[in-house]
Structure 1
């Protein structure tokens, strides 16, 4: 299993990564309309600390670059594609976005109505239940390059995948450089390859049509989560050590 190793030095971290908090949100009308009974959105906000948090280390408080407690630093978007509803699951996914349609086309049977494809049933140990889709993981630029995206995604999946037989993701570019001329086909392939490596680090495996799957029935998911938590703790330890060293130099 690969590991999402930091690409930036720990000295560039804005704050202690173990202080990141995930806040889950989902809302719906009392009587669902359109495809709301089949495609369920979950929005996860990532903050650095909690607003009003008084237990703030002196080392981090002395860091002028550290965001205030409760500052939003990122977000995740996940979807739960529910089975056994009156809707056509493929139509529900297609109505939302092209990426979700790609995933639905890969995992659902030909009718797109109540049933997974033969390839999906072969790839997943227990292909019965809902499908969780990891759609977007976004962090502020100051927090990117430290391997935090996979850690946050793994934590969100742990809490939202109950009753789901698998988690699906379609590695695609979420952002583009300012100079669109840089985005050649080779650039796209390389970007997708890097993104796929991140998802592989939390247990996803290639499926088909560019879609990757995480089988929730396997121990691999838990093992990957524990490995990423260890990475996060190691990053935090390095950050705290660096912060104390910088504080000592400034005081001297």
Structure 2
């Protein structure tokens, strides 16, 4: 794609941003333990935009853009819905989870990486580790873990589209979270890039900077957390919305 074409596409995408729709759903077991622990809920969320069939209309997205990385889903023709962003993770109810350590460890290594957030001396009700508990306001009993977020390539570098979308999704996924946690990591590196220490360090710094800009702070080197009770996150989201030409006060007053 030529620079002019890329610039034109960026303008078209930003013009369509106000029409993006947010979706989320969760899956929790009625009873169980480990992966099926009824005190945990696996969630997934996504953001979509319906393509206009006429490129001359306001949206402007049509057949010529279907292969330009505008969607995470396969596109065959205009008039379809593109997937701008996908995310998934876990919600933990500290009061109801039977065994937080088994619930995380049984799922995956990615989830097991969050075990240091919790106090190993207690089992039920689950408690945050003392150091983390001191960092967070004592409000709410749910922990929202964000495992992975993926933004369609064409939407990257437009001034914070991905950051705005995941931030607007957070309160829909878990409106009363005591904290939100993430392990920032550049998941899209190739095997060769990941084995290159310089490349990995640079991309890790970039990804951590993205989460830092949303009010997340390191609890450990790998685990970063955000306290929804603090104002840092809300201010950051409003600044991003304003920069993207959107009403910063529209939607959730985070």
* TM-score, normalisation: structure 2: 0.76
Structure with bigger helix share is 1
Match of 1:101 in 2: 112
Q: 1:88 aligns with which of 76, 92, 99?
A: 99
Deviates more, 1:164-173 or 1:93-102: 93-102
Deviation at 1:149, TM superposition (A): 1.6
1:161–1:167: 8 Å Cα contact kept in structure 2? no
Q: Deviations over 1:119-145 (max 9, x none)?
A: 111111226511111111112222223
* Residues 181 and 115 of structure 1, relative CA distance in 2, 3 Å threshold: closer
Match of 1:136 in 2: 148
1:130–1:163: 8 Å Cα contact kept in structure 2? yes
Deviation at 1:185, TM superposition (A): 2.4
Matches within 5 A, 1:145-160: 145-146=157-158, 147-160=160-173
Matches within 5 A, 1:2-21: 10-13=7-10, 15=13, 16-21=16-21
Alignment gaps of 5+ in structure 1: 1-8, 235-252
Match of 1:215 in 2: 227
Match of 2:22 in 1: 22
- Is 1:167 aligned to 2:180, yes or no? yes
SS at match of 1:175: coil
Q: Which has the higher contact order (CA 8 A, sep 6+)?
A: 1
2:39–2:94: 8 Å Cα contact kept in structure 1? yes
* TM-score, normalisation: structure 1: 0.76
2:155–2:162: 8 Å Cα contact kept in structure 1? no
- Is 1:58 aligned to 2:57, yes or no? yes
2:24–2:43: 8 Å Cα contact kept in structure 1? yes
* Residues 104 and 232 of structure 1, relative CA distance in 2, 3 Å threshold: farther
Quick one: distance in 1 between partners of 2:56 and 2:105? 47
1:75–1:138: 8 Å Cα contact kept in structure 2? yes
Quick one: distance in 2 between partners of 1:145 and 1:219? 25
Quick one: distance in 2 between partners of 1:70 and 1:171? 29
* Residues 175 and 41 of structure 1, relative CA distance in 2, 3 Å threshold: same
Quick one: distance in 1 between partners of 2:113 and 2:145? 11
* Residues 184 and 11 of structure 1, relative CA distance in 2, 3 Å threshold: same
* Residues 182 and 76 of structure 1, relative CA distance in 2, 3 Å threshold: closer
SS at match of 1:224: helix
Q: 1:119 aligns with which of 102, 111, 131?
A: 131
Deviation at 1:221, TM superposition (A): 2.2
Alignment gaps of 5+ in structure 2: 1-5, 67-77, 247-254
| Residues paired across the two proteins, number | 222
